[in-house]
Amino acid sequence: MTTTRTIASQETDARKKRADTGSCGACLQSRAKCSCGASKGSAAKSMPEAVASRGHDFSTVAIGAQRVRTGQPPIGPEARAAATTGAPEAGAPEAPQQGAERLQQSFPDLPGNPSACVVSAAMPHSRSGIKRTSTGDVFEDFEVRIEWKNDPGSDVQSYCASGCGEYHQFVKGYMKSGSNKDGSDLKDVGGTVFGGVKLDPGTFNEDGLDGKPKARYGHRDEKQTMNESFSPTREHGTLYVGKDSPGVFIGTFADFDLTFVGKLVDRCNGTETESDPWQVAYRGVIRP
């Protein structure tokens, strides 16, 4: 829809091409000692205390495998502020070797048995809280930050490669808007997410842009379509920053309730980790 930015912020310009001199892939392939822009930190099996304090579960499961999470009671109208609740719906399981095969096709310069070693992960990293503008917008800005490391190590077969790591974002919920200040004429303005799938109140689907079915977050071998960046390069960058501004941008009265989940995907090993959900919700008159 042209009148709403329902799930993600507007499409960004395509990233500029970078020279590949001294790339991480070449460095890792040569087995030389190199930093590849990595920061010091532990691997995914030994997360920093700062990350653990955010309450994330960093144990890995096969991509698409079912995970049952004990959540808080359902959120009622009296608790529509930022909170966490819900459990993601499981998709069709994918065999771990499929993830490895896809990565080798995308990044043939990664030899041996690489893994995505997480240094830090904040899902979300920052939140603005609900914003309302005089021009008729109500929304929240949030940002996600992930850092992986490159470390050839002493084992020529097993090592850390940031190119294995991705961030995927999922969402469920509803979005409504109306022209009456009492909210008596609300209509669905939820639009669609990745793959042209309708935003669903009860099922998590991969987040994306309404009207752009191929747009989604964090897939390294896909062209940048969201407000995000891998640094220093999309192929092997160690730092990921993703930004989103979900909300309603049309009408007089808005009612929306969205729950997000972030997943860290190790494509080399076909596993994923899952964040706690976070909620963006508002009901009321749009303009202050």
Q: Could you report the per-residue pLDDT of 230-278, keeping only the tens digit for each?
A: 999 999 999 999 999 999 999 999 999 999 999 999 999 999 999 999 9
Q: Are strands 138-149 and 117-132 parallel, antiparallel or unpaired?
A: antiparallel
- List the one residue out of 36, 59, 67, 61 whose CA is nearest residue 147: 36
What predicted TM-score, i.e. pTM, was given to this entire model?
Answer: 0.68
DSSP 156: S
Residue ranges of alpha helices (H) inside the chain are: 24-30, 49-52, 96-106
Residue ranges of alpha helices (H) inside 36-185 are: 49-52, 96-106
Cα 272 to Cα 63: distance, rounded to the nearest angstrom: 5
What residue ranges of the chain have pLDDT lower than 50?
A: 1-59, 64-100, 102-106
- Return the pLDDT at 151: 83
- Return the pLDDT at 110: 73
Cα 121 to Cα 242: distance, rounded to the nearest angstrom: 12
* Domain spans of the chain, in order of start: 37-65+85-285
- Return the pLDDT at 155: 60
- List the one residue out of 274, 281, 280 whose CA is nearest residue 87: 274
- Return the pLDDT at 157: 73
- Return the pLDDT at 158: 86
Largest Cα separation within the chain, whole Å, is: 66
> In what helix (H) or strand (E) does residue 174 lie, and over which residues does it extend?
strand 165-178
